[in-house]
Amino acid sequence: MEASPSTRNFVGDDLKNCSGSSLVLENAIMILGGIGVALVDVKNVPQLVFNIFTQRFSKPTTSLDGQMVSALANMWIAGAREIYKPIWLLFTKITVESSNRAYSSDASSGSEHRFAHVSLAVDTALARMAENVVDEEDKMTLLHRLLELFVQLGLEGKKAGERIAKAIVKVVVAYNVSLHR
């Protein structure tokens, strides 16, 4: 779904030079999140709110991104089943990319670490989701998704460990070569 011209204000196209733009954007996030929760059972509303959030999310990175994460978690908790998967994919991407930053030897690569600023917000959102899930099917879905996430994090950690080990071997070999010259 393409956002209408009225969402341009939220996306920030017309607010870049406005002195109160941060407050306007913060209020827009709160209102959209509230609409997403209140109208969770209305067809396409959660998907539309999700699409609007993802158009703005981390473009550029701001403190408002954490509020969007919280609003998405609220929609998940309210039962927005049509966006369970996209929310989970976004949260997984954020968590994995943030963990890669922790293990990366190159912390300067901005594209790979663009979500580090919302890592804590996602952790908090996941905790809130786990605390507030009521339906047994939703509990099992969340448990399954968390297990998948932990496995993926483990695999990413293993890859990072292998990269670090290779880098250490290269340094040791270079050092030994320099000693024998």
Q: What angle do CA 146, 148, 149 make, to 5 degrees?
A: 60
Structural domain containing residue 39: 5-179
Query: Of 83, 82, 120, which is closest to residue 98 (Cα–Cα)?
Result: 120
Per-residue model confidence (pLDDT) at position 18? 59
Per-residue model confidence (pLDDT) at position 5? 46
Per-residue model confidence (pLDDT) at position 50? 94
- Residues 176 and 181: their CA atoms lie apart, in Å, by 9
Hunting for tokens 């917000």 — which residue is that?
121
Rounded to 10 deg, the angle between the 119-132 and 64-78 helix axes is 20
Query: Of 91, 151, 143, 142, which is closest to residue 121 (Cα–Cα)?
Result: 91
The number of distinct structural domains making up the chain is 1
Per-residue model confidence (pLDDT) at position 14? 52
Q: What is the pLDDT along the chain (181 residues), one digit of tens a residue?
A: 445 545 554 545 555 555 577 788 889 999 999 999 999 999 999 999 999 999 988 887 888 899 999 999 999 999 888 899 999 999 999 988 888 765 555 555 555 567 888 889 999 999 999 999 888 988 898 899 999 999 988 888 888 778 788 888 888 777 777 777 6
41 alpha-carbon distance from chain centroid: 24
Per-residue model confidence (pLDDT) at position 9? 47
Query: Residue 80 contacts by C-beta under 8 Å, 6 or more apart in sequence?
Result: 36, 40, 46, 87
Query: Residue 109 contacts by C-beta under 8 Å, 6 or more apart in sequence?
Result: none
Question: Alpha-carbon Rg of the chain, whole angstroms?
Answer: 20
Per-residue model confidence (pLDDT) at position 12? 52
Question: What is the model's pTM?
Answer: 0.75
